[in-house]
Amino acid sequence: MSRAVRVTVTGEVQGVGFRAHAAQEAVRLEVTGWVRNEPDGSVGAHVEGPAEAVEEMVAWLRSGPPSARVARADVVDADPERRSSFEVRY
């Protein structure tokens, strides 16, 4: 069963390599979607794929790379975008 979610990550998450690390993790987990910095200082992500892999990606987003300090990760179900890869958006 597949799942799609939108995640908003807050804390010290910009300027610490969060997006690049998230993209590496997404490739490892074989999920698709995107990650981007938001104007309010948060990081937004859209993740879709097998439910178990999406849950693993969400768990990773809740902690981020070692250089990040995640305060919160809000997750909501989303409509699938049916992307073929995971990309870093600028």
Q: Which of 3, 19, 28, 62 is an active site residue?
A: 19
- Residue 33 contacts by C-beta under 8 Å, 6 or more apart in sequence? 4, 26, 45, 46, 47, 48, 81, 83, 86, 87
Residue 31 DSSP symbol: -
Which of 6, 36, 37, 83 is catalytic? The answer is 37
Asked about 28 being catalytic, the answer comes back as no
Residue 3 bears catalytic tag: no
Residues with active-site annotation: 19, 37
